[in-house]
Amino acid sequence: MKDKQFLMIPGPTPVPETALLAMAKHPMGHRSSEFSAVLAEVFADLKWLFQTQEDVFILTSSGTGAMEAAIYNLVNQGDKVLSLVIGNFGERWAKIAKMRGADVEIIAADWGKAIEPAVLKARLDQDVNKEIKFVTLTHNETSTGVTNDLKTLNDIIQEHGAISVVDGVTSVGAIQLKMDEWGIDVVVSGSQKGFMIPPGLAFLACSKKAWKAYENCKNPSFYFNFGAYKKSAAQSTTPYTPNVSLIMALRETLKMMKAEGLENIFNRHAKLAAGLRAGVRSMGLKLFVEDDSIASNAITAILPPDGVTVPDIRKTLTKDFDIVVANGQNQLQDKIFRMGHLGFVSERDLITAVGSLEMALAKLGYKSPKGEATTAAIKALI
């Protein structure tokens, strides 16, 4: 149905009307005092969201731009980088660092698993000469629906002394991440995930310890230069023309998030994820991540039942229910489908999605106990 489409992919995510309307206005001049006032407010609210006293830079790019910015402003050629890989996005850190000319070592877990803290600790304990300068990791791995135990992993990294470089693209605004309290060095994120606005902005915050690495970086990036962003942030501006319209939308969604409160936001995501998992299990379907203690609160990966294909499920959900879900990535393509439930998602949306999935499967010939999935989801939500 026209205008009914609901995105349940892990980004872009649905956008509230207040944010859409804010984008519909003529763009302000980016050097005007009027826009600087907007930026001052947005910068302050981003610090609240990232739970940091450090500046949060706003980059005009997708999330990967902030990942590249982090590596190119910190890492010198030949530096040793340890990349913790549990899926597609963890691999991306390693690829960027390799392209930078770093000496990259990978600790990988099977897709669907989290990094074992003991494995990281054993490797870093071995590094008595402190050759490893950086550790890259993914907080919430969107390709598999696994959330790493970031606090514990970061404690181990800090004890060793390396700089932690964290992909928080699908965790900031959805899953607890206390940048300063946990002592994380670099956090990057992207606008089309928990921020409830369209794609096009990326965010980056870095600790004082990481800042020293930037000062020792021989060939930092030009467009994404940390120094330029920091200097501009102090004057409530950006070094180059930012995406003014998206920042107007962001001001609105940050206000919404502040009104809801961080704990409530994280609890809402946890509840929605639990509701979806309960609904899916009651249909007799298997979750890609069976261990709830590492299952993501932002995205859930689901295996199709025997006899029904992932493309058919996705097609039916889109065509008959106006719900868009994502396919698996890389080796998981057509093996799993992924439902995003981060950002502007409510209990109503979740119940609708569970009911729609159950009905879509019934249309595709799967005999599940009809109606039970929504009941199971509702029970988990209440």
Ligand X SMILES: *Cc1c(COP(=O)(O)O)cnc(C)c1O
Query: Which residues of the chain form contacts with ligand X (CB under 6 A)?
Result: 10-11, 62-64, 89, 138, 142, 167, 169-170, 190
CB 366, min distance to ligand X, A: 29
d(CA 336, CA 151): 29
Q: Which residue number has the CB closest to ligand X?
A: 63
Question: Shortest Cβ distance from residue 72 to ligand X (Å)?
Answer: 15
Closest distance of CB 69 from ligand X, Å: 12
| DSSP-derived pairing of the beta strands 103-108 and 323-327 | unpaired
Q: Which is nearer to ligand X, 188 or 361 (CB)?
A: 188
Nearer to ligand X among residue 79 and residue 167 (C-beta): 167
Query: Judged by CB, which is closer to ligand X: 92, or 160?
Result: 92
On whether the CB atoms of residues 9 and 190 are closer than 8 A, the answer is: no
Whole-angstrom distance, CA of residue 196 vs CA of residue 338: 19
For ligand X, the closer CB: 169 or 175: 169
CB of 190 to ligand X, least distance (A): 4
List the one residue out of 281, 263, 291 whose CA is nearest residue 377: 281
Whose Cβ is closer to ligand X: residue 35's or residue 224's?
Answer: 224
Round to whole Å and give the CA distance between 40 and 242: 14
Q: Shortest gap between Cβ of 168 and ligand X (angstroms)?
A: 8
* Cβ-based nearer residue to ligand X, 63 or 355: 63
Q: What's phi and psi for 10, nearest 5 deg?
A: -80, 60
Helix (H, G, I), strand (E, B) or coil at 81: strand
Instruction: Please state the closest distance from residue 203 (CB atom) to ligand X, in A.
Output: 11
How far apart, in whole angstroms, are the C-alpha atoms of residue 47 and residue 40? 11
Handedness of CA 260, 265, 271, 276 (dihedral sign): positive
